[in-house]
Amino acid sequence: MKTMKQFGLMLTFVMATLLSSCSGDDNGGGGGSAANGTIKAKVGGSNFKSMEIASFASKNAIGGGAYMIAIQGSDEEGNAIQLILNGVDGQPGTFEIGTDTTISAVGTYTETEINLSNPAASTFTTWAAPYEDSGVVGSITISEITDTTIKGTFNFTGKNQEGTDTKAVTNGAFNLDFTTGN
């Protein structure tokens, strides 16, 4: 009986150690950096982490040495974050998301409510930044960019496209390989 009790205590100790060693950053949020192939953030205080298979970045030349960069990722529930930079030079930097900026920077978060019994009745709610008269409501920072990858951080407050409420997207990070179109 004493041996069983010691085994139980040892098993409890091992499980507690394993569980406490798991990083909360693996589930999204927390800022800093994202795992390769993903986007992570805190959305309205909840963790978001995109699936690698549903995440991508593209960089397309638009002329005059300028590029349009699109970054998008969706999680298992169909929720998505999209970031767009239009007119950037393809170099690291911080770009404000606002109504009066020289570089067009946009952030959106789309929340999905799937109706499994009637998929056509599923709903999608999108919070976008910037919005009318918003001023600066966030930023996108490219910390590293090559011909094949892009890494950085972001935050924004988006306005519901069908209403007046806002949603904060904070501690965002991305680490993605570019798809074709570089």
DSSP 65: T
Return the pLDDT at 5: 34
**Token pair listed for 26:** 């693996």
Q: CB of 51 within 8 A of CB of 32? A: no
| Cα angle 30-94-43, degrees, rounded to a multiple of 5 | 30
Q: Using CA of residue 50, residue 48, residue 108, residue 67, what is the dihedral sign?
A: negative
| Positions of the chain with pLDDT under 50 | 1-31, 181-182
Residue with tokens 């030079």: 89
Query: 118-163, pLDDT tens digit by residue?
Result: 988 889 999 999 999 999 999 999 999 999 999 999 999 999 999 8
Residue type, 134: S
pLDDT of residue 180: 65
Q: Is residue 28 within 8 Å of 41, Cβ to Cβ? A: yes
Question: Which tokens in the block code for residue 158?
Answer: 């988006």
Q: pTM value? A: 0.80
Q: How far is CA 142 from the centre of its chain?
A: 13
